[in-house]
Amino acid sequence: MRKSIVMVIAGALLAVAPALGGPLMKSQVAAGANWVVHSDYEQFNRSAVGQLFRAELVAIGVEEKLINFETVFSFHPLDDVRDVTIYGQGQDQKKAVVLIDGIFDTEKLLALVKMNPEYEEIEHGGITVHKWRQEGKPGSGPDESPLMYGCLYTDQLVVISAGLDTVKQAVDILQGRAMNATDVVFSHAIPDAEGVFCQVMAYNVSATAGREPKAAVLRQTDELGLAVGENQGKVFVDLGLTAESEQTAQAIKKVLDGIVAFVALTGDEQPRLAALAQNVQTSCTQSTVRAHLESDPESIIQLLKEQWQKKQTSAEK
């Protein structure tokens, strides 16, 4: 099969759009999850930055590819998806699950996945779980191509994971037979805000970050909250990091201030990025560090366009 189902759905949704219909439903999230990412496509598509983004996709030829995608798979990766929720425990990919809410041609999706030579059906809770092997990169061996599991919980809700038990648990949660995260407080680090189209929430962040050298700030963080959206014509990013102590929080703020200052000094090479960095405001209250950025949608789109063009140029060399 030319593309695995995970590439057809999850890859298209998560790689094409910067942030993708409705609010996060904690009743669909496992009680044991320590991180959640929720993207609201409908809210994004209604925003000014979303409309500008779509216009740029047309200009650079990506929209045409999405239309071709729709012709083959009978759904548009941006127009026919309402929202995507991803949750998990730590860095274990087999404990992470993707819930995709949208409008799909289920018969066509099932026909595609059934073409996989390792396709298998597994019954659980009255739901058919589909097993297949994700296609790896050219030249990669079988061990580098992981097994994937997924189900059509309804005609409008797709569940995908690299772990069979994780898919089974997700089905149990949706059916009300397993504990969900309704009563779990993921983070006090970010306030509720209108116009949010992407949320990230996590706790026990330091344990999840592990020894990753580039995650120095996260290794000192207990809770994390991130909200990206648009309100009153301004795109905003709110970041909140809660540490174990006030002293640690002050240290985190100094690191963030240093990063912002460094980026602000790159004006000659990255003028738009430097200008955005100058608009970042940081604060520290007790053990919580906050960072806030506001910008007009046009500047955000132009920055994304420039970064994309640099990647294209680098790839051609």
Taking only the tens place, the pLDDT of each residue in 80-125 is 999 999 999 999 999 999 999 999 999 988 998 999 999 999 999 9
Structural domain for 210, as ranges: 196-316
Q: In terms of domains, do 144 and 103 share one?
A: yes
How far is it, in rounded angstroms, from Cα 239 to Cα 191? Answer: 10
The residue ranking higher by pLDDT, 190 or 87, is 87
Of 174, 206, 227, the domain-final residue: 174
Q: In terms of domains, do 200 and 284 share one?
A: yes
Taking only the tens place, the pLDDT of each residue in 198-250 is 999 999 898 888 766 677 788 889 999 999 999 999 999 999 999 989 999 99
Q: In terms of domains, do 9 and 157 share one?
A: yes
Answer yes or no: is 179 within a domain. Answer: no
Q: In terms of domains, do 168 and 200 share one?
A: no
Q: In terms of domains, do 18 and 149 share one?
A: yes
Answer yes or no: is 184 within a domain. Answer: no
Q: Residue for token digits 């790689």?
A: 15
Neighbours of 251 (CB within 10 A): 17
State the average pLDDT over residues 130-141. 75
Q: In terms of domains, do 201 and 270 share one?
A: yes
What is the average pLDDT value for the chain, to the nearest integer? 86
Is the pLDDT reported for residue 10 higher than 80? no
pLDDT of residue 217: 84
pTM score of the predicted model: 0.87
Q: In terms of domains, do 292 and 222 share one?
A: yes
Q: In terms of domains, do 18 and 148 share one?
A: yes
Per-residue pLDDT band at 78 (split at 50, 70, 90): confident
Answer yes or no: is 270 within a domain. Answer: yes
Long-range pairs, 103-108, Cβ under 8 A, ≥24: 103/75, 103/156, 104/74, 104/75, 104/80, 104/152, 104/155, 104/156, 104/158, 105/73, 105/74, 105/75, 106/152, 106/155, 108/73, 108/74
Answer yes or no: is 208 within a domain. Answer: yes
pLDDT of residue 2: 35
Q: In terms of domains, do 53 and 139 share one?
A: yes
pLDDT of residue 6: 36
Q: In terms of domains, do 170 and 231 share one?
A: no
Answer yes or no: is 183 within a domain. Answer: no
Taking only the tens place, the pLDDT of each residue in 137-168 is 655 555 667 899 999 999 999 999 999 999 99
Answer yes or no: is 141 within a domain. Answer: yes
State the average pLDDT over residues 3-27. 50
Q: In terms of domains, do 58 and 116 share one?
A: yes
Tell me how many domains the chain contains. 2
State the average pLDDT over residues 2-30. 54
